[in-house]
Amino acid sequence: MKWGNALTFRRRTGLLLALLGLAACALLSIMVGSRWLGVGTVLEALANPGGDEATDAIVWGLRVPRTGFGLAVGAALGMAGALMQGLTRNPLADPGLLGVSAGASLAVVLSTGLLGVTSLSGYIWFAFAGAAAASVVVFLLAARGVGGPTPTKLALAGAGVTAMAGSVTTSLLLADAATLDRYRFWSVGALSGQDPATLGQVLPFLLVGAVLAAAITPGMNLLALGEDTARGLGQRIGLIRVTGVVAITLLAGAGVAVCGPIAFVGLVVPHIARAICGADHRWVLALSAVLAPALLLAADVLGRLVAHPDELHVGIVVAALGAPFFIAFVRRSRVAEL
């Protein structure tokens, strides 16, 4: 088998296995909880709702919406991470590098502390607006000077905005204990306790972000060969970067606004995707969109199993799993480079 055919086979096989794993994680997410449900019970409730009221209340009222949040938010964070690492050419980049998480956090604190917003459906839009505003500020700062928004300038501007927004957020929280109490549930990152209607409200933003991300992946492949080469092949580098920033803002902003700043998903998953399919951004984006929700749902299920009949929030579990995995990945990469 030729190398090109072998790589294509590996990519298709990897994507198929990832889809099967995602389906299994989604099924487990509906089965596992304070009351366990069998596979047959779940499939029957999904196929024929209205049979058993108690089972329908658990499946359709609680676990299907929770699984839906995991699927949507996981895919959004995975794609945003793949885009961020590709645009900045920084393997340690994640959506938070553009100030998305910091901007959303500051907006949530301002809305709860100054405006008295207490409901998730109320401050989610402030979080989304804060994420978008932070991304715009980062891009405008990076666009100043010679060369426009280069990867290095985007990373530096993002780090500066994140530090500034984080310091203001911390100051506001220390000054108001009531705001801290309302903020801490959102900030830990959770799929539970969400209003199902919220997913429908942010889904259009996620879909638009996904379309924009898919549209620029061919250009990102050429950009990886070098800016001069990409320009010589007719690529508009500035347009690719602007579109990428907009896509990251829509994807990560909506995901963070709904479920809080869940760490490591957008950082680790693109590395796993590249290990499977290589450096082609089209495949990296597709695999990240499948692997990330699988990771998020698996972590959510693990959080329910570890603390049964209570549960650990998914943000805590992902951080506990992601940190050692990423440390091992970095150490292995350094050995490979040497």
DSSP 98: G
- The predicted model gives 106-135 an average pLDDT of 81
Output the pTM of the full model. 0.89
Closest alpha carbon to 135 in 248, 38, 280, 33: 248
Query: Tell me, what's the pLDDT at 338?
Result: 32
Give yes or no for residue 115 having a pLDDT over 50. Answer: yes
State the residue for tokens 């658990």. 58
- pLDDT grade, residue 172 (50/70/90)? confident
Residues 6+ apart with CB under 8 A from 227: 237
DSSP 60: I
CA distance 314 to 305: 12
Query: Tell me, what's the pLDDT at 3?
Result: 54
Task: Report the residue count for the chain.
Answer: 338
Q: Are 267 and 245 in contact (CB under 8 A)?
A: no
**Run of H or E including 54:** helix 53-58
Tell me whether the omega of the peptide bond preceding residue 293 falls within 30 degrees of 0, making it cis.
Answer: no
Any idea of the CA torsion for 76, 214, 142, 106, to the nearest 10 degrees? -20
Query: Tell me, what's the pLDDT at 336?
Result: 41
Ranges 86-90, 188-192, 285-289, most confident: 285-289
- The predicted model gives 113-128 an average pLDDT of 76
Residues 196-222: tens digit of each pLDDT: 888 888 899 899 999 999 999 998 988
Q: Which residue has the higher pLDDT, 94 or 213?
A: 213
Query: Tell me, what's the pLDDT at 29?
Result: 95
Give yes or no for residue 41 having a pLDDT over 70. Answer: yes
Q: Are 219 and 213 in contact (CB under 8 A)?
A: no
**Token pair of 77 as six digits:** 């964070």
Q: Are 234 and 228 in contact (CB under 8 A)?
A: no
Give yes or no for residue 121 having a pLDDT over 60. Answer: yes
Q: Which residue has the higher pLDDT, 124 or 299?
A: 299
Give yes or no for residue 133 having a pLDDT over 70. Answer: yes
CA distance 199 to 304: 22
CA distance 86 to 270: 10
- The predicted model gives 286-292 an average pLDDT of 97
- pLDDT grade, residue 337 (50/70/90)? very low
Ranges 96-105, 114-123, 208-217, most confident: 208-217
- pLDDT grade, residue 88 (50/70/90)? confident
Q: Which residue has the higher pLDDT, 316 or 331?
A: 316
**Token pair of 209 as six digits:** 């972000």
CA distance 124 to 254: 9
Give yes or no for residue 1 having a pLDDT over 70. Answer: no
- The predicted model gives 7-35 an average pLDDT of 93
* Structural domains in the chain plus CATH codes: 3-337 (1.10.3470.10)
- The predicted model gives 75-79 an average pLDDT of 95
- The predicted model gives 256-285 an average pLDDT of 89
Query: How many CB atoms sit inside 10 A of residue 228's CB?
Result: 9
Residues 51-67: tens digit of each pLDDT: 778 888 899 988 999 99
- pLDDT grade, residue 83 (50/70/90)? very high
> Please, what is the average pLDDT of the chain?
85
CA distance 334 to 27: 38
Closest alpha carbon to 149 in 89, 103, 94, 101: 89
CA distance 166 to 172: 10
Query: Tell me, what's the pLDDT at 148?
Result: 67
CA distance 186 to 208: 25
Share of the chain above pLDDT 90, in %: 29
